[in-house]
Structure 1
Amino acid sequence: MLLQNLTWLRELYLDSVDISAVGSEWCQAISSSLPKLQILSLRDCGLSGPMHHSLSRLHSLSVVQLDNNNMSSVVPNFFANFTSLTTLSLRHCGLKGSFSEMIFQVPTLEYLDLSKNELLTGTIPQFHQNASFRLISLQYTNFSGSLPDSIGNLSMLSLLYLYKCSFTGPIPSTMVTLTELIYMDLSWNFFTGTIPGSLFGLPSLQKLKLSNNQLSG
């Protein structure tokens, strides 16, 4: 990768450029040449994994978009140490293993897309009151467990996609506080219990999908 002499570069967009490099190559090339990088967008670039730990040196990263690459690896825990991270998009990357709960708890994180990684597992942890999420997309993954009551702390959440996962338990009544929620898809899971009537009073909600669970009205 021809990235020499770009030490002041803040944003790099190479989406759909055929780079075809393994993790140790592209990660080290970027981290050594672009120390001040804030936005990294390499969607559909023919990259492979695993993601090398050298990326952890890019402390200023706020946006990471690596969708549609064949990483075939776990998601590194070092993303939890990026204190400015607002967007982590790893859609359709062949990810596997367990996703770190610590990444969910990055207070600046607004957009998290892990969808279409069928071998990726994990659970959703408790959310802090200062959480910034606007979008969480885990559809077509193997995330499981129950939704925490503290999901009600996500006051800015507008899009929640949990279609075709393995979630169980009740739908938390605390979701009544999600006044910015526009679209929620919880279909094709194993949710049980009664649908909270308060969901139908959410002022911004335009689409609600709860089909193919074990719910009652």
Structure 2
Amino acid sequence: MGVLVLLFTVASLLLLAESKTFWEDTQVLKQLKNRLDPNSVAQGSCISSWDFKLDPCDSLFSDRFTCGFRCDLVDDSGVSRVTEIGLDQAGYSGSSLSSLTWNLPYLETLDLSGNFFSGSLPESFSNLTRLRRLILSGNSFSGSIPASIGSLTNLEELFLDNNYLRGSIPPSLNNLVSLNRLEIQANSLSGEFPKLDSLTSLYYLDAGNNAITGQVPFTFPPSLIQISIRNNSLVGTVPETIKQLGSLQVLDLSHNQLGDSVPAHLFSHPSLQQLTLSFNKFSSLQTPSSAGFQSQLIAVDLSNNNLQGFLPSFMALMPKLSALSLENNKFTGMIPTQYAFKVAVPGTGVSPFVRLLLGGNYLYGPLPGPLLSMKPGSANVGLGNNCLYRCPRVFFFCQGGDQKSSSECRSFVPVIP
């Protein structure tokens, strides 16, 4: 009996010595394939080639294992660990991974994007302690974002966009101190946006197309270069603390319920290049003390608000501003001559307006002379649906809509002759 036990032990050790893939990693790969609806596994896809009669890492890129994961040797014993899983976008519609135990402590990249996986996000993602990239975009995941994701402190990129996730954004995301990029747009996330000020490496944030409420957060990571929280239900205004984000280049808060004044600090921000606040409820503009001379803004979109008064002349003084949309507001008065000169004959060292959209307001008076000499194709200028005197369609910038009727114009601006 002792001899048989010894032979069995030796044989087991030999089998282990020949194995290249750590056995628990192989089990996870097997479970992953078994969780998929066989009818959704397309012939020729990576996962269709997984044949566990052979060792995965030792047979990677053979006829039996063609693609879908990567292995790295972790020690001198010859044992390999799975460090990357990246499934091709082959569908897998209706397949759920909710009950799969992700026991892959050496995994650094998990990319399941574009495959229509359903069900909730597994709590066992917290086992992926070395994970740097988690990409789950373009699936049908539902339920809430597990708070346990906050334990992945090595995570650098988190993509949960374009799913059906609900509930609030867990405050535990503030624990992802290595995170560079966070994309959670196009879900049904609700509640107030949490503080993420601990994410001192975060440079890209997109939480657009959700149902987020409350005010624009007063604290953001100072490293941010781009913030997009468009198409939500934010209220209030843009906090002054935004000016402390010294690297911020893009701010998109369009399609919300923001109101009051557009603050002056946005027009004198030291790094901001693109500002989009369209489709809100702003009623006025604050003029920066620098009169716009120090602005780095290249593109500004304040269209579809309730902005009133005269067109802000300081915007014609912004040296880099080349795209300005003030369409569909309630501006009155005449078009400032500075606007016309910035389009037609800009000064030295000043970027011209290549896009100037002023349609849908109550602007009146004659057309500024510099505009009359412009030819089609020289710039994208739109002046339709105003109260301008003699703005016929023969001028390319008057196309796209007739002027308002005299009665409508006089009802809003009685001084119009």
Pairwise TM-score range, normalised by the shorter structure: 0.7 to 0.9
More deviation in 155-164 or 64-73?
Answer: 155-164
- 2:353 aligned to 181, 184, 203, which one? 181
Matched, 1:154 2:326: no
Preserved CA contact (<8 Å) 2:298 2:322: yes
The whole-number CA distance in structure 2 between the counterparts of 1:85 and 1:202 is: 35
Counterpart of 1:15? 185
Preserved CA contact (<8 Å) 1:110 1:132: yes
Preserved CA contact (<8 Å) 1:101 1:122: no
C-alpha displacement at 1:212, in angstroms? 2.6
The whole-number CA distance in structure 2 between the counterparts of 1:130 and 1:174 is: 17
C-alpha displacement at 1:90, in angstroms? 0.7
Q: Structure 2 length normalisation: TM-score?
A: 0.46
- 1:194 aligned to 366, 369, 381, which one? 366
- 1:49 aligned to 214, 227, 241, which one? 214
Matched, 1:80 2:253: no
How many residues align structurally?
Answer: 209
Preserved CA contact (<8 Å) 2:181 2:202: yes
1:79-129 CA deviation, whole Å, 9 max, x = no partner?
Answer: 133222211101101222332122222132211111111x22221525432
Preserved CA contact (<8 Å) 1:66 1:90: yes
The whole-number CA distance in structure 2 between the counterparts of 1:163 and 1:169 is: 14
**Identity percentage of aligned residues:** 25
Which structure would you say has the larger RCO, counting Cα contacts within 8 Å and 6 or more residues apart?
1
The whole-number CA distance in structure 2 between the counterparts of 1:199 and 1:3 is: 56
- Correspondences of 1:156-171 after superposition (within 5 Å): 156-171=320-335
1:167-216 CA deviation, whole Å, 9 max, x = no partner?
Answer: 12222212213454222211121223322121355687432211232323
The whole-number CA distance in structure 2 between the counterparts of 1:148 and 1:99 is: 12
Counterpart code for 2:314: S
What is the CA RMSD across the aligned residues, in angstroms? 2.4
More deviation in 196-205 or 98-107?
Answer: 196-205
1:140-183 CA deviation, whole Å, 9 max, x = no partner?
Answer: 10122223333222343332211111212222212213454222
The whole-number CA distance in structure 2 between the counterparts of 1:156 and 1:199 is: 20
Q: Structure 1 length normalisation: TM-score?
A: 0.83
- 2:270 aligned to 107, 110, 116, which one? 107
The whole-number CA distance in structure 2 between the counterparts of 1:201 and 1:84 is: 40
The whole-number CA distance in structure 1 between the counterparts of 2:187 and 2:318 is: 36
- 1:94 aligned to 239, 254, 257, which one? 257
Gaps of 5+ in 1: none
